[in-house]
Amino acid sequence: MQTYQRLRTNPRQALRPRPPYGSSPIPTYKHLISLVQEGKLSFKNVVTFNMDEYVGLPRDHTESYHTFMFREFFSHIDTRLAGELLNGNAKNLIEECNQYEARIKAFGGIELFLGGIGEDGHIAFNEPGSSLASRTRIKTLAYDTILANARFFNDDIAAVPRMALTVGVATVLDSREVVVVVTGQRKALALSKAIEEGVNHLWTLSALQMHPWALIVVDEDATAELHVKTVKYFKSIERVQDEVEAMHAALTAQGIEDDHVGSME
Ligand SMILES: N[C@@H]1[C@@H](O)[C@H](O)[C@@H](COP(=O)(O)O)O[C@@H]1O
């Protein structure tokens, strides 16, 4: 697992109320959208699978993941293939989850999962205590998650869905690459539990320690609970990596093949 620092450029952003459903990747979506608009990137041959969806929330509800994805991403890119989203209103929710796993398999598996985490360290909606071997399934939300999300339902706790469909921890681990964005002090404890302690089902992000190609992107605030030596260690790795890349670029510019550098990751 690698961890990188990304300093927040606009501190006021953190003060704005954020939707409860994965707003962490929004800056990444914006960047991808501008690349599409500049003609440098295309999603014509890309199939996307969302990680989770509330159970029982109408698909066109302002807080559903369907609405969010269309508003923030799908409506701005040149997607030709429909994005796959879990249907939290399916008659048979278990069947819906099983079919989702089957559809992922039919497409040859997930290439890249991009997501955020909850304050309790959950990845997708794999709340504390989720099995690390879990697959797409129905999940009861932790009360803390329900409370945290109430502000998006007019502070009406009763209106917040109690359950969600979510890909499992093992579904995430099966992905060829995983990128998780962790920002803000609210997520600092979860980050420290996930990277400074062992793999633990109480902080499901920690399962990424088992993944061969996982990247956690963090801002300065999210490092608040880390040991100084942990932060220094990861910053030093970044520095060394930059040096290696500069060396590689210099050799390539001289027309020298550099298999050794090229093969290290
Ligand atoms: N189920 C979602 C997660 O997939 C998401 O990672 C998390 C963080 O959301 P945000 O990035 O808006 O803080 O919110 C919800 O709990």
Residues of the chain with pLDDT > 90, as a percent, come to 77
- Would the CB of 22 count as within 6 Å of ligand 1? yes
Mean pLDDT over 26-30 rounds to: 94
CA of 255 to the centre of ligand 1 (A): 46
Please check the confidence at residue 12 and state whether its pLDDT lies above 60: no
**Region 33-57 average pLDDT:** 95
Highest mean pLDDT, choosing among 61-70, 73-82, 84-93: 84-93
153 in ligand 1 pocket by Cβ < 6 Å? no
Centre of ligand 1 to C-alpha 179, Å, is 14
Whether residue 54 has its Cβ less than 6 Å from ligand 1: no
CA atoms within 13 A on the CB side of 252: 10
CATH number of the domain located at residue range(s) 2-226 in this protein = 3.40.50.1360
> Is 80 exceeded by the pLDDT of residue 52?
yes
CB 235 within 8 A of CB 198: no
Nearest by Cα to 20 from 136, 217, 155, 132? 155
Specify whether the CB–CB gap between 136 and 86 falls below 8 A: yes
Average pLDDT (6-35) is 63
| Ligand 1 within 6 A of CB of 165 | no
Write down the pLDDT at residue 21.
57
Which protein residue's CA is at the shortest distance from atom 10 of ligand 1? 22
**Ligand 1 atom at shortest distance from the alpha carbon of 116:** 6
pLDDT higher than 70, residue 6: no
Distance 242 CA to ligand 1 centre (A): 31
**What confidence tens digit (pLDDT) does each residue in 154-209 have?**
899 999 999 999 999 999 999 999 999 999 999 999 999 999 999 999 999 999 99
Distance CA 255, CA 242 (A): 20
| Reported ipTM | 0.93
pLDDT digits (tens, 9 = 90+) for 115-145: 999 999 999 999 999 999 999 999 999 998 8
Confidence band, pLDDT 50/70/90 cuts, at residue 259: low
Confirm if 179 and 215 have CB atoms less than 8 A apart: yes
The response to whether residue 124 sits with its C-beta less than 6 Å from ligand 1 reads: yes
- For the chain, the distance separating the N- and C-terminal CA atoms, rounded to the nearest angstrom, is 11
Pocket test for ligand 1, best of 15, 18, 24 (most atoms within 8 A of CB): 24
Q: What mean pLDDT do residues 225-239 have? A: 96
Query: To the nearest whole number, what is the mean pLDDT of the chain?
Result: 88
pLDDT at 13 over 60: no
Residue of the nearest CA to atom 15 in ligand 1?
21
pLDDT score recorded for residue 22: 67
Position 264 scores a pLDDT of 41
Q: Catalytic residues, which ones?
A: 52, 120, 122, 127
Q: Which of 54, 76, 248, 206 has its CA nearest to residue 257? A: 248
As a whole number, mean pLDDT of residues 210-224 equals 97
Which residue puts its alpha carbon closest to atom 2 of ligand 1? 21
